[in-house]
Amino acid sequence: MATTDALVEDVIEILRRRGLRMTPQRRAIVAEIMRTQGHISPTALTRKVQDTMPGVNASTVYRTLALLEEAGVLAHAHLESGAEYHRVEEAGHVHLSCSRCGAEDDLSLEEAAALSQLIEQHRGFLPDLTHFAISGLCADCRREAEG
C-alpha cells in the first residue's frame, strides 16, 4: 500500500530529526500502526508486530508508543476496553460506544465542532473530545431497552 509506506517514511523522518535511531523493531511497530485504521491497543499491536517479527518485546512496543506520542505522531484515547492509540491525523474521531451491544460509531467533524463550541462556553474550557469515548445507547438498543 503506497499511502501507508509514505506515512511510514514520514514518521521515520520525524524520528530521525529528533536524533532517534531507526531499528528494525521501530520500523515494524511504526509500519503496523500506520497500517491500522482507527485505534489499536498496545496489547493487540504487540501481537500483530510479533506476527511479522517474533522477537519484539512488549516493553519495546510500550516505549515506542510513548515516543511516538511525544513526537506528536500518535495520541491515545480511553475507550471502555482501555487505552487505545491512533494517528493524530485521524483525530477528530469522536467515538460513540454503545454500552449494550458494543457498537461503535463516530461523530462527523461538524457535529464534533458544534459540541466543542458548546463546551467552550463553559468557562472557556477547551475540550479534546477524542480523548475519551462517549458511552450510551445506539438507536437499536435504545428501542429495545425503552420498548
d(CA 78, CA 57): 23
The three cell numbers locating residue 19: 536524533
Residue 58 binds DNA, judged by CB under 7 A: yes
Residue 124 binds a second copy, judged by CB under 8 A: yes
Indicate the DSSP class of residue 90. G
Q: Identify which of residues 52 and 108 has a Cβ nearer to DNA in the complex.
A: 52
Residue 21 binds DNA, judged by CB under 7 A: yes
Could you count the other beta carbons within 10 Å of the beta carbon of residue 65? Answer: 21
Q: Which of 35, 38, 60, 90 binds DNA (CB under 7 A)?
A: 60
Q: Identify which of residues 67 and 96 has a Cβ nearer to a second copy in the complex.
A: 96
Q: Which of 78, 101, 102, 109 binds a second copy (CB under 8 A)?
A: 78
- 141 close to 98: Cβ distance less than 8 angstroms: yes
